[in-house]
Every structure is written in C-alpha cells, then in structure tokens.
A = this chain, B = another copy of it.
Amino acid sequence: MTAFQKLVAHSKTISNFNHLAAICGWDQASMMPSGGNQARSEAMAQLSVHIHGLLTQPQLEEWFSSAESENLNANDKASLRELKRQWMQANVLPESLVQAKSLAGSKCEHAWRSQRGENDWAGFEKNWAEVVKLSQEEAQIRAEATGLSPYDSMLDIYEPGTTSASLDTLFSDVKTWLPSLIDDAIEKQKSESFITPTGQFETAQQKALGLEVMKLLQFDFEHGRLDESIHPFCGGVPSDVRITTRYDDSEFVQSLMGIVHETGHARYEQGLPKSLAGQPAGEARSMGIHESQSLFFEMQVGRSDAFIQHLSSLAGKQFTSHDPALFGFDNFQKLYTRVKKDFIRVDADELTYPAHVILRYEIERDLINGKIKHSDVPELWNLKMQQSLGLSTEGNFKNGCMQDIHWTDGAFGYFPSYTLGAMYAAQFMMSMTKTIDVNGAIESGDLSPIFTWLDDNIWSKGSLLTTDELVKQATGETLNAQFFQDHLKARYL
C-alpha cells in the first residue's frame, strides 16, 4: 500500500465511526426519550474522543509527508488536500477539549429544549457560559495554529477560504441596500389581501403532503427518511439521509417549505460521488455550498411561480375540509413571499433573513474574538435587532438569543454560511437559466433537467474543487453578490 492508499483506508475507518455518530445524533434529536440523554451524551462523547484519536494518530504525519511525493492524479491530489485539511484541523485540538466541548454542548442543548419554552435565560446561561468558554479556547488554539484571528479560524471549519474581512465587506454592502429594499417590499405588500391558514391541519396529513413534495423533488426514499425534531435538520449519511421537520397543527406553510429546504440539503448528500465515499473529497464542499443547495430548492425553485402552483394544488388536495380559497395560486404566492420584520430566523422570509444572519455574525465574531462576554449577548441582540428590524427583544430571550441551536452546542462560525448560500444559489440559478428551461421543467412536474445540472456541476464534485473553483466552473465567475440583489429586487419590487 502506498502512503496515500493508507490514508484513504484510514479515512474510511473514520468515516465508519462518523456514520455511527450521525445516526445516533439524528436519533438523539428525533427519537430518543429525554431520560436517555445522559447515557447517550456520554456514549457520543466517547465516540468523539475515539474519532479524534483516529484523526490524530502519530503515523499520519509520516504518511502525509510520504504521500506528498507520490505520483498522484488530479483527483487523488484533491483528495490528499482535503485529507490533510481535515487532519490539520483535528490535530490542533487536545483530546480533553474535544471531550469537554462535546459534553458541555450536549448538556446545554438538552436543557435548552425545555429552557427555551420557559424563557429561562438564567438557567441557559449557566450551561452556555461553559460552551462559550470552551469555544473561545478552541478558537484561540486554532488561531495560533493557522495565523488567523480566533473567529476566522472557526469560520475556516465551515467555509474554507472565507475570512471576516471578506464578510465585513460583503455584509457592509448588503446593509447599504437591504433595509430600504425591505421597507419598499413591505410598503408594496401593504395593500395586498390574502388568507392565512385557520383551523386544524393534522400532522399525518402534513406529513403526507411533505412526502408528496419530496417525491416531486426526487428525494430518494431508498436512501433516506423524513422525521420530526424540534429544530429541523438534515443528518445521516449519503447512503441514508435523514431529514426532519416540525409540525404545527395550526398551519402547514412553514413546515412544508422547511421540507423543501431540507430536501435540497438531502439531494446534495445523496448526489455526492459514491466513488469517493468515506473520503473528505467525497463530502460536501462547504456549509455555504450546502446551504446554496437547500436555498436553491427553497428560494430559487420552491418560491418560483411554477412550483408554487404545484404546492397550492397538492395542499388543496390534501386539506379538502378547508376553504379552497386558501389554496389558490395567488394566495399561496402571497403567503410564501410575504415580507415581515419578525423575531425568529428560521421562520424569517427571504428578504429579512440576511438581517438575522448579519446580526448573529457580528455578535459571534466579537464573542469569539473576546471583545464581548456571553453575558453581553442579550443586550447586544436587543440593540442590533432594534437597529436592523426595529424590534425589541428586551427580556424576550426565547425569541432573541435563545432561539437558535447553533450557539447552544458551540457551532460558532456557521451563521454566515446561510447568506453565502443564498448568494451562491442566486448565482447558480442565473447560470442554469442560460442552458435550461427551468420554468418549463418545473411546470411540467419533471424537474430532472434542473437536478442533472446541479448533479453535474455541484453534487458529483464533492470537495474535489475549492469553493472558488467550483463556483467558477459552474457559473463562469467566483461569488458575485449582485445576482442575489438582482434576484431579490426582481421578486419583491
């Protein structure tokens, strides 16, 4: 075996343990009764330590140095680059920190499930202080190893190549045009009338509708499932992708589009190159690219007129005891493009969403760089929310800084991916329409040409290319936020 082959075999071993972590993590969020949490958290922490041990085995250094002088083709070179990236990131951290953060994150997240409903900031803060402290330690260690700032070193986990300097520029620009665009859209929609769902929408029927929409989006049910969890996510492994949603029986609108969103994540995972299964090069390129796929499904396809037509028709057939006017195309279009300044990011519309992300970005950047303390967060949140969307969150923690799961378990550096994803998605759509009749495909109900484009240009590439290379090969240029602005203006003005 060559050193490169040894590295690949070792990577497959790690991938097998990651498989178990993914399934048990999904189970913890969607199936596990609450009394099972302590033992599960301990088992998951043990697994984390084991995986960390595999990633940090001493012989790997020698294998990497040998592999670099081996004769490798382009794919293998890319694979080696990603293996090395993964290895370097893992070797930065001491095992004790990995374990402590995993335990603190599990504990905080589990308690958060009930604390959020109780608006219990004091209770939450006790657990969260430890998560923040350990995350700052992690960032400091990563910063020393990479020469980046602490926050940028966290960002690098999710978005290799992206820095807070570039995000500051990008988001400053967004802040110049977004507020007025939001106000204009709200002004334009002010006189619109529409019907909101009332009455009861049975979970079983919502699920049946969700499954129909997943079929339309060609989700592969031989390699995945739909379940429920408090915070919707896409988990599992490429051969068995687990997406979740949450149902509210007083309305179906959020959950239905949430399923479209997670199906985008899922199809990316299901479309990753099977020949590279178990290798980092066979994994998704970055969180931003992952989000570009879910937002391509949700925003570019899901909110197009042609797709809204399908949604309204399918929903009308499911909920026959409700007022048929609710399921008219016009009404659905209004429901799904309504702009409103509100508290909850996951329920936010396409236009206010970037404002939520920028708020979180600015806070987590300063928190991880040690410029602010965890106890400053509620006040800062309130301040920035007032500035960006004119809303007060004073004393309203559950709809403020306690609303998201990301910080709860220490995933700092992740939030920018959402808006990067929205920008990439707009750019992909702009490029796709040059060669494909996207509207015609959606109208026909056979969306295959769209998925073939995504598979050819994004999914099947895994991490063989860098993000910039991937986007340039697919669209002819690297990230250009103008497409996002154009898309929003076209839809909302």
Contact = CB atoms under 8 A, between A and B. Distances in A.
Interface in A1-26: 13, 16-17, 19-20, 23-24
B237 A36 contact: yes
A490 interface: no
A237 B13 contact: no
Interface string A209-234: 00000000000111111000000000
Interface in A41-94: 42-44, 46-47, 50
Q: Classify the secondary structure of A's interface with B.
A: helix
Contacts of A20: 20, 24, 43-44, 47
Contacts of A43: 16-17, 19-20
A239 interface: yes
B33 A46 contact: no
Contact of A222 (B35, B47, B223): B35
Given A23-B23, A23-B24, A24-B23, A239 B36 contact: yes
Nearest to A45: B16
Contacts of A47: 16-17, 20
A415 to B, nearest CB: 30
B225 A39 contact: no
Interface string A238-250: 1110000000000
Copies in the complex: 2
A237 B31 contact: no
Contacts of A44: 20
B40 A19 contact: yes
Contacts of A27: 23, 27
A236 B33 CA distance: 11
A11 to B, nearest CB: 12
Nearest to A220: B35
A27 B38 CA distance: 19
A34 interface: yes
Closest 4 CB pairs of A and B: A36-B240, A35-B222, A16-B46, A19-B43
14 contacts: A17-B43, A19-B39, A19-B40, A19-B43, A20-B20, A20-B47, A23-B24, A23-B40, A31-B31, A31-B225, A33-B221, A33-B222, A35-B220, A39-B237
